[in-house]
């Protein structure tokens, strides 16, 4: 084999190796959301579903703000909190991302393990002309790792653009975690702004 042909094969092998390495790097840089929590030390709330929903909706201008309002409440009053995002790439390698309270998450950073149930409120009700009041986007009730989706239930409870009720197992269809102190997390829209709130079991939800 001539020296020129050997050199050509060598350069081709180097080129293919570079392409393969680039492909692996691209795969490794794509992180899929596994779970997320928000708080300080051991005072933390599971916000996996909440964050997934905000990411799926594109955030605000492509970013999700990390604060008590967007994360559904304050699990540690007076403390400097953070959002911990646990993610996995295509090679099943895991990584933890930390975002300080007051910072932002770029929605392009994370893929979702399965887009949350599509928000059908706009498609179903946009033309009804009664969207000046509270609109429930998503709602969950329970504790970390044991929550139930109560979105449709809360939507049916809205009266004249407002929502007011006592947060208890009976009003939310049952007890998803017997013996545990549960919390209701609600993502809603009011006057064009998306907001989130959290109400502990035994408390009262009043929107707006």
Domain boundary among 111, 132, 160: 111
> What confidence score (pLDDT) does residue 20 get?
37
**Domain assignment present for 2:** no
Report, as an integer, the average pLDDT of 41-62: 87
3-state secondary structure at position 73: coil
Cβ 99 vs Cβ 82: under 8 Å: yes
Identify the residue with better confidence: 120 or 96: 96
Reference 31, options 103, 108, 100, 118; nearest CA is 108
**Domain assignment present for 87:** yes
Residues 139 and 200 grouped into a single domain: yes
CA distance 53 to 107: 11
> What confidence score (pLDDT) does residue 59 get?
80
Question: Quick one: CA dihedral 74, 106, 140, 94, positive or negative?
Answer: negative
Report, as an integer, the average pLDDT of 144-165: 88
Q: How far is CA 117 from CA 10, 15, 92, 139, 182, in A?
A: 51, 43, 25, 12, 22
Domain boundary among 111, 143, 169: 111
Reference 196, options 69, 103, 76; nearest CA is 69
User: What's this model's pTM, rounded to 2 decimal places?
Assistant: 0.52
For residue 86, the enclosing domain spans 31-111
> What confidence score (pLDDT) does residue 99 get?
94
Question: Quick one: CA dihedral 149, 33, 121, 133, positive or negative?
Answer: positive
**Domain assignment present for 132:** yes
Q: How many CB atoms lie within 10 A of CB 79?
A: 13
Domain boundary among 89, 111, 133: 111
pLDDT digits (tens, 9 = 90+) for 86-107: 998 887 788 899 999 999 998 8
CA distance 179 to 182: 9
């Amino acid at each position: 084999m001539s020296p020129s042909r050997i050199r050509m094969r060598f350069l081709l092998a180097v080129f293919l190796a570079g392409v393969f390495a680039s492909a692996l790097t691209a795969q490794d840089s794509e992180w899929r959301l596994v779970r997320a929590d928000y708080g300080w030390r051991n005072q933390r709330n599971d916000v996996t579903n909440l964050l997934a929903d905000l990411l799926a909706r594109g955030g605000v201008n492509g970013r999700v703000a990390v604060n008590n309002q967007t994360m559904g409440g304050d699990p540690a009053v007076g403390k400097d909190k953070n959002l911990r995002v646990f993610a996995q790439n295509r090679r099943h390698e895991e990584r933890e991302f930390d975002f300080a309270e007051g910072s932002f998450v770029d929605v392009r950073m994370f893929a979702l393990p399965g887009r949350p149930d599509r928000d059908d409120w706009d498609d179903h009700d946009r033309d009804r002309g009664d969207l000046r009041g509270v609109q429930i986007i998503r709602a969950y009730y329970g504790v970390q790792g044991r929550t139930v989706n109560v979105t449709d239930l809360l939507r049916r409870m809205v009266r004249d653009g407002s929502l007011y009720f006592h947060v208890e197992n009976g009003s939310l269809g049952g007890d998803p975690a017997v013996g545990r102190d549960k919390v209701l997390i609600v993502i809603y829209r009011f006057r064009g702004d998306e907001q989130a709130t959290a109400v502990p079991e035994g408390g009262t939800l009043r929107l707006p």
